[in-house]
Structure 1
Amino acid sequence: MYDLLSGALAGTAWQDRLRPLPLSLYGYDGQAFNPAELRQLRTNLTAAGLAPADLMRGGPTVFVDLVYQGSTFGNLYAVLREWIDDDRAQWDVIRRQLHFVGITWRDKTSPKTWRWQQSAAWTGELPASAIRNVSLDGRVWSYFGNIQAKTARSFRRTRWNDPDVAIPPRSAQARFALAEATRLVERGRTPEIRRRIADRLEREPTSSERWSKTLQQALRTKN
């Protein structure tokens, strides 16, 4: 998804708004850090422009990820929230800037349908509009989350301070992943994909808002 959108947004004013965040905080592996791990994690997040001082400046910061039970988002939020308090940053400002978009497994729409954000206490500290979900067909979600080859190894806590993570993997799987990523970027640059994204935006409830109209025009202009 990142590769396709990177291609589609290339050459527009939006091209620098989409950035990958190499970080794994899934489950218990994303909790109970020792002091050295926490320092390194904060150093890495600072390098990514996600220090509390950065979150107070500029526009909203939106985290997007595949969501199974929401533990990655919950652990990331806990890290940021503690850091904000430690730095005595303005939480009342930052809470309006933070947004989380979960890419979920599509299920039947029902009041009884389990939704990750309803089971997470921390989401109640943010405005209701800060949490959104985009559902995918289960087979597509499973491909992204469980099957698709990756261009890099999972960036877990055991690798945060490992200099070897900067060395690109050379395995056959990594080469396949890189080839797939390259094709997706190229595909995103095509007039067809840009037009399809613009057409989809035009059908969204937010289509009349200025940002959406500007983006639609930029995508159609690049055609």
Structure 2
Amino acid sequence: MGGSIVATPFRWNIARREQLGSLISGVSPPQRLNDMFLESLRATAARILAHANRSDLAFIGRTPENLYDYLSGCFEGLRDTPQLHLVQYSLRNAGSVEQLPESTRQGLFDYLTALGLGPKAIATGPRPIALVDFVASGGTMEGLIRLMKMQAEQEGQDWTAVQRRLRIIGLRVRTKNSPNTWRWQQHQDWLHFIPDTIIRNVSAPAAFLYYLGNDQPKVTASFHPGRWAEEEGAARRPSRDQQAALGFATQLYDLGRTREERQNLAKRIARHRKMNQRATRRLVLRLRGG
């Protein structure tokens, strides 16, 4: 990167409360932790972890923020758990990624590298990387894969080695399973870029996913192509919505740190048919305190 400043969207570290100061005091979160929301969150997280097997997790965009904060709390202080990344990424009104200015694309490439998700790190890292996002039509995931491939080619990395280390976990609205069920990956014309990438889907209630994707206030501002090439983000006074979202994120993180919630998550994972995987059994033991 030649010493250039990486465009990094600022996000408060909720594990370090001294950073938050008075930001979350006296601000009502967008919703309280109720049983219905928490069960959907816990069940979705459990399915993601079961499908991830031994992969690290990269949560893409702002929709999965709650999953990232919750699991960050669940894994805090535990050894040999998946590494979690929150990748701020949006293609809002961007059109074709091939038509983006070179400097814009480079800004995202530098950001991914700084996160440890550059092509070399993925190809040679100790674990595969599972990309987790709410998938509607597949356009956002397509754009990200195309950009990752462009970065690999630009940096002289073997794209085949990179895509073999990728997984995709698509969050999907739960529907009745039938032979006629619409599956997004069956309607894509770009999957030849990732012939060895394992694709799995995790279903969740529509109200839960639509709330996360469309209605819930977010901690961070959208990191769209217009921001990829800007200078490194700094802390700015958050809006009231951001403060509320930050307060909710701390609730999720604190809940995940409790022994009771880790036990609850472990029970949920243990019910999954992929409990026969060695890495999944080991993760359940870690959460149970073994």
TM-score, structure 2 as length reference: 0.71
Superposition pairs for residues 57-136 of structure 1, below 5 Å?
Answer: 57-58=124-125, 59-127=127-195, 130-136=198-204
* Aligned-partner residue type, residue 103 of structure 1: L
Report the alpha carbon displacement of residue 88 of structure 1 after superposing the two structures with TM.
2.9
SS at match of 1:111: coil
Match of 2:75 among 2, 9, 16: 9
Superposition pairs for residues 70-219 of structure 1, below 5 Å?
Answer: 70-127=138-195, 130-163=198-231, 165-219=233-287
Report the alpha carbon displacement of residue 46 of structure 1 after superposing the two structures with TM.
1.2
Measured against aligned partners, the alpha-carbon deviations of 1:48-84 in whole angstroms (never above 9, x if no partner) come to: 1122211211220111111111111100000111222
Matched, 1:37 2:104: yes
Measured against aligned partners, the alpha-carbon deviations of 1:152-181 in whole angstroms (never above 9, x if no partner) come to: 111001112334742244211111000000
Give the structure, 1 or 2, with the largest relative contact order (CA under 8 Å, sep 6 or more): 2
Q: Which runs of 5+ in 2 are unaligned?
A: 1-66
Matched, 1:49 2:95: no
CA contact 2:72–2:256 (8 Å) conserved in 1: yes
CA contact 2:165–2:197 (8 Å) conserved in 1: no
Structure with higher helix content: 1
SS at match of 2:143: helix
SS at match of 2:164: coil
Report the alpha carbon displacement of residue 201 of structure 1 after superposing the two structures with TM.
1.5
* Aligned-partner residue type, residue 44 of structure 1: Y
TM-score, structure 1 as length reference: 0.91
CA contact 1:102–1:134 (8 Å) conserved in 2: yes
CA RMSD in angstroms comes to 2.0
* Aligned-partner residue type, residue 202 of structure 2: V
Q: Which runs of 5+ in 1 are unaligned?
A: none
Measured against aligned partners, the alpha-carbon deviations of 1:107-132 in whole angstroms (never above 9, x if no partner) come to: 12122222211111222443576111
